[in-house]
Amino acid sequence: MASSAVLRPHRPAPTFRSVGRSLLLTLPMALWSLLLFTPSLREPGRNAHIGAAVVILFMTSLFYMMMRTGKTSRWRRIFFVTLGVLFPVGFIASLIHLRGSMSISLAHMVGGDTPFCHMVIPMILIPAALTRTVIFPGSILPTATNPHSIAVMIALWLAFTLVMGKAWCSYGCFFGGLDEGFAALPRHMRIRKLDARLRLVPWALLIVVALLSAALFEPFYCRWLCPFKTITEFAAVTSLETAIQMVIFISLFVGLVVVLPFLTRKRTQCAFFCPFGAFQSLFNKINLFEICIDREKCVDCTLCRTTCPAMALSAQSIREGKTLLNCMKCGACVDVCRKNAAVWHLKGTPVAVKPERARLLFLYGVWAMATMLGGGIIANALATLIGFLPLS
Amino acid sequence: MRAKILPVLAYMGAAATLVLAALTPFVLMGYFSRLVAATGIHVDPVYTGGTVARTLPRGAYQIDIYSPVLPHALQHVDPFVQIAFRPVSALPTHFSEAIDLDGDGQPDVQVSFTLPANAKLRPAGDVVALNGKYQSFRIPVAGSFSQLMVEANGAMLLRVPLAEGNQP
């Protein structure tokens, strides 16, 4: 049984490639980072220079370690948790700079100053298809006070989704790093038995939220259920209704993002609650990259199943050599498998024939996108943090 | 045959995702954004106030009267008409005018407000309905999407809710 498998502490990273080959494989990503962040280095402002330089080094170093050790999730997680921790820092600082508060007032909403977030996308689809109306108080094109406009964020999500499918949840989402971070803190699971039906909750929530949003003509999840309102922005508390919303946001954040990940070592908000995650799972069907189990090597130790932070492996799926639809492609199962039975796979090619080639193709695309979005967010947050330091 | 073609197609697809990733920040982001905007989607008029129906020039400033916004069946918002006074910087400190909202030549509401010297304070005044079509209220108002007075995008926005008997 999965719960009987004890999670062992990470062993030292085994050498997978030579330094020279690893550097050679890292070179394109180093150049990519330089290309992306050179404009920031040319702009005036020391803090932005430091932020950009640190991010270039950070993203390139992590990619190098992925090449050198052959492990993916361990290094990805450092980036992803950093992104999850620093995103609120940069976002809140920018809100306070633009409007003086984390809370959003009616004036900002009617002025189109609400930043658009990817979580809204499943909720706006039905009303947009039926009436061409976006039920969100933002602006379609970027403005001086709202660069995160609806068209820009949808475009960004579309590009990411085409490249990485559900891997968005492990490389692109600027919220997911928080519960992954809390899930990584304890050495052992406090709660071992989790009902497999929990996987269905995000799907149920997706249907309910999409239908309610279309019926009420408002982004229902954002108004009532989003845990991340606690650390980003929220409607100013001006009535009993907004006060209740605030209590719900904080309770969900503490429960799903902090406490339950710590107790279960699972990404509980992402795997068992997030309706956007369920929506994003659909794109795993069209994405070319996946993780497979090589049945010839698998010894059914269930370590992969225990380790998976999203419960995206079941006994049956392992028997069939596949992950479930909700696989976030974090690579934790591949990293932990001692028999090299869990492998990266390019659909249409034979399973386990050239898994490293599939991994490389996946990583180049996904890390390029992660550097663009996540790297930019980290650089911005670092520049903000440095601005708070009492430096001469 | 299929076993030979599929891997080739798969590697071509993988190469295409790499090209997509490389082009996104420099070319495709702008293209995708324009594509989204070109679909003709617009933000719900409950948030934007809808479209301007008439403009009343008043010298240094103007008054834009918007078409009535009629929310959807289950939406928790009352129908309203938005009025925009712009630019705020050109508005008189004390404003009072009877405004024709529906364009029938008869004034519908008497709008009076005083702009505070301190920009952080909110305007004070009232909206008095001159017929049964609209609702009266005092400014500042607690605020909802159908009844508010706020400054946004360089304009003072006023939303006057339709009277209950006059709602569709």
* A230 and A339 inside one domain: no
* Domain span holding position B8: 1-41
Residue B76 contacts A where some CB pair is shorter than 8 Å:
yes
Report which of residues A3 and A210 the model is more confident about.
A210
Count of structural domains within chain A: 3
pLDDT beyond 70 at A94: yes
* B49 and B121 inside one domain: yes
Confidence (pTM):
0.90
pLDDT beyond 90 at A182: yes
pLDDT-derived band at A3 (thresholds 50, 70, 90) equals very low
Q: Per this entry, what is the length of chain A? A: 392
pLDDT beyond 70 at A111: yes
Amino acid A71: pLDDT: 96
* A317 and A344 inside one domain: yes
- Note the helical H segments in A43-120: 46-69, 73-99, 106-110
Amino acid A10: pLDDT: 52
A372 vs B contacts (CB less than 8 Å): 24-25
* A182 and A293 inside one domain: no
DSSP string of chain B, one letter each residue = -HHHHHHHHHHHHHHHHHHHHHHIIIIIHHHHHHHHHHTT-EE-HHHH---EEEEEEETTEEEEEEPPB---TT-S---EEEEEEE-GGGS-SEEEEEE-SSSSSS--EEEEEE--SSTTSPPEEEEEESSTTB--EEES---BTTBEEEEETTEEEEEEEBPGGG--
Q: Which residues of A110-137 are buried (b: 16+ CB within 10 A; e: fewer)?
A: bbbbbbbbbbbbbbbeebbeeeebbbbb
- Residue reference for tokens 């900002």: A108
pLDDT beyond 80 at A91: yes
A3 lies in some domain: no
* B74 and B139 inside one domain: yes
* B7 and B62 inside one domain: no
ipTM rounded to 2 decimals: 0.88
* A153 and A229 inside one domain: yes
* Assigned token pair, A90: 């940069």
* Domain span holding position A40: 14-101+354-387
* A49 and A71 inside one domain: yes
| Interchain contact, A372 vs B25, CB within 8 Å | yes
- Residue reference for tokens 């794109």: A283
* B20 and B74 inside one domain: no
pLDDT beyond 70 at A8: no
Amino acid A21: pLDDT: 96
* C-alpha span between A162 and A276 (Å, rounded): 16
* A276 and A320 inside one domain: no
* B20 and B49 inside one domain: no
* B56 and B138 inside one domain: yes
Average pLDDT over residues A273-295: 95
A151 lies in some domain: yes
* B62 and B35 inside one domain: no
Residue in A110, A361, A364 nearest the CB of B47: A110
Average pLDDT over residues A363-388: 94
* A228 and A116 inside one domain: yes
Average pLDDT over residues A169-190: 94
* A72 and A149 inside one domain: no
Amino acid A15: pLDDT: 64
Average pLDDT over residues A176-198: 93
* Assigned token pair, A233: 């922005």
A112 vs B contacts (CB less than 8 Å): 43, 47-48, 152-153
* C-alpha span between A304 and A313 (Å, rounded): 8
* C-alpha span between B80 and A276 (Å, rounded): 33
Report which of residues A237 and B102 the model is more confident about.
B102
Compute how many other C-beta atoms are within 10 angstroms of the C-beta atom of residue A306: 21
pLDDT beyond 80 at A79: yes
pLDDT beyond 70 at A75: yes
Strand partners for B137: B127
* C-alpha span between A252 and B29 (Å, rounded): 33
The DSSP bridge pattern shows strands B155-161 and B148-152 to be antiparallel
For chain B, which residues score pLDDT lower than 70? 165-168
pLDDT beyond 90 at A279: yes
Amino acid B167: pLDDT: 62
Tell which of A286, A304, A331 closes a domain.
A286
Amino acid A14: pLDDT: 56
Average pLDDT over residues A115-129: 94
* Assigned token pair, A236: 């100013």
pLDDT beyond 80 at A59: yes
Report which of residues A162 and A234 the model is more confident about.
A162
Q: What is the CATH number of the domain that holds A296?
A: 3.30.70.20
* A199 and A269 inside one domain: yes
* B26 and B86 inside one domain: no
Q: Which among B2, B66, B146, B153 is the top mutation candidate for probing chain A, defined by the most A β-carbons within 10 Å of its own β-carbon? A: B153
- Mean pLDDT, all residues of chain A: 91
Residue in B14, B37, B144 nearest the CB of A288: B14
A288 vs B contacts (CB less than 8 Å): 10, 13-14, 17
Amino acid A108: pLDDT: 87
pLDDT beyond 50 at A4: no
Count of structural domains within chain B: 2
Tell which of A257, A286, A315 closes a domain.
A286
The nearest CA of chain A is from the CA of B8 a distance in Å of 8
pLDDT-derived band at A5 (thresholds 50, 70, 90) equals very low
Residue in B11, B18, B74 nearest the CB of A216: B74
CB A7 within 8 A of CB A188: yes
| Interchain contact, A140 vs B75, CB within 8 Å | no
